[in-house]
Each structure stands twice: as C-alpha cells, then as structure tokens.
Structure 1
C-alpha cells in the first residue's frame, strides 16, 4: 500500500488513455449539461466550438475515471478530496479525442485536525492525442498516513 509518507514532493506520473465517444458526449450532456453545442452538430457549428464538444464537467468526469484507475493500480491509500483549485478548461474536447493525464506533486502536509490523514496538493494536466493541454487543475487529495506497524513501500 502507498501511504501519505510514500509520496514525494516533485514526483510526476503520466497515466490514462480515455477515448472520447460521440455517444458518451451526448449522453452526458443530456443528463448533466444540456447546452446545444454538447448535443447537436448543427448547434455546435454555429459556435466557437465549431463542432460537437464535450462538456467541461464531462472532461472532469473522464479525468476522474483515469485517476481512480491509476490510484487502484498503485494501491494508494486514498481517502477522497476536499476539492480542487484553479480548474481551467483550455481547449475543447471533441468526440474522437483520446485523453491522458500528467500529474506533479506540488506539496503535502499532515492534517492538523486529523493526524491519520495527510493532504497532497498536485497539479493535474489533461492532454489530447495531439499533446494539446485541454484542462488543468490543482487537486487536494486526502491520503491515509501509515498505520503503526505497516511496512514502508
């Protein structure tokens, strides 16, 4: 298991491969963000997007799916998150794109009120298949500190 103490400030990771499909873009938009440019080629063509594009919130959800898979593969002692900072949607995400993630640990500290957990601050960058950054944010992840007697990773 990878605990708070095992995370190094400055560490980077690259992971994920998420193919963006037209059907998923429309289904997400119908349920959560039913703006015309997320639902219709014709409506999107009349906007600065130029064509059907994924909701920014859908981009966040796809990123979360890649992140959870990465956390599971690395057996990280994740305890969720109190939120994110500096969310920016830089470029549209289109059906046919394939997304991937790059993270860098910016800092960490043990929680003052809950010493059994620490807070890890990381910058997340999301890129498409052309290495164009489409989204960035700073995450604040809660991680379990190493229990007494647990082996170091």
Structure 2
C-alpha cells in the first residue's frame, strides 16, 4: 500500500502491506553510529570483526533498528506519528556495510480503544531486508494510532 497522506485507524485493514524506500549502508555510517552509540570492536575494527562471531564488520543491531525507524516513518505515515507501545525485536543475521535495506510492514492486528475513543493500537510486523531479501531485523510492534477526527 503506497500513501503519502496521513493514515488513520479507519484506513487500515489486517493484512495491509507497506513497503519502504531503500537505505544504502556503508562502512563510514557503521563506524559513525558505533563510535557514538555502540563502541564495540566488531563495529569499529575490521580485523577484530573478522575474529568475532560476526566474521566481518557488522552494523550494530541498534543501528539497524534506527534505519528501520527512519524507513518506517516514511513508508507508514500515521497521523500523529509513530508512537510505540511495545516491541519484540530480533536480528537473525548481521547487517553489513554494503547492504541496501528496506522495510516491509504488515498490519497484523487492529484494536480500537474502548476507554479512549480517539485512538487504538495496531500490531505491525516489520521485516528489514537487505538487497538479497535476507531478513536483517524482524520486529513486531504495537503502535498507537489515531482515529479520523469528526
């Protein structure tokens, strides 16, 4: 589903799929993020990374999550923004410097609030995939969504 207008609870159906644009990752991005937020040798030193469980330079999982968020915001334009209410996150494979990531998000559940009539909660399954279709991150998240006003 492609849309640029704000999406409200009433606009969604279980099974709707949203696809993002791509983000091209490179070594400098991995180093910059790691220096600031996850300064571990396998994110900062190619030799240490080769000797690690990753067998090569790997982006921080939190870097992959941040890229996912950027792509999700652009591809799922919820009215009021994306306000998380919980998340389950997995990184089944490392994200590498030459990866081009995109996100495929599927609406799994829609629950209108009984106590707050202006909103609901949606459950969204998001796969962050590389250029080969390999899943680098899998996320199931609950997001607060507004109802259409009036």
Q: Normalising by structure 2, report the TM-score.
A: 0.90
Unaligned runs of 5+ in 1: 149-153
User: How well do the aligned residues superpose, as a CA RMSD in angstroms?
Assistant: 1.2
* Counterpart among 52, 55, 58 of residue 60 in structure 2: 55
Whether the 8 Å CA contact 1:97–1:129 is kept in 2: the answer is yes
Q: Normalising by structure 1, report the TM-score.
A: 0.89
Q: Deviations over 1:64-98 (max 9, x none)?
A: 010111134xxx3144111212x110000011100
Counterpart Cα distance in 1 of 2:19 and 2:7: 17
In the alignment, does 2:85 pair up with 1:82? Answer: yes
Q: Deviations over 1:113-135 (max 9, x none)?
A: 32211111011011101111111
Q: How many residues align?
A: 144
In the alignment, does 2:142 pair up with 1:140? Answer: yes
Counterpart Cα distance in 2 of 1:13 and 1:2: 12
SS at match of 1:138: strand
Whether the 8 Å CA contact 1:4–1:77 is kept in 2: the answer is no
Which residue is 1:10 aligned to? Answer: 15
Q: Deviations over 1:11-39 (max 9, x none)?
A: 11222201111111111111111110000
Whether the 8 Å CA contact 1:16–1:67 is kept in 2: the answer is no
Instruction: Give, in angstroms, the shift of residue 45 of structure 1.
Output: 0.8
In the alignment, does 2:133 pair up with 1:131? Answer: yes
Counterpart Cα distance in 2 of 1:129 and 1:55: 18
Unaligned runs of 5+ in 2: 1-5
Which residue is 2:3 aligned to? Answer: none
Counterpart Cα distance in 1 of 2:40 and 2:149: 47
SS at match of 1:92: coil
Return structure 1 stretches of 4+ with deviation > 3 angstroms: none
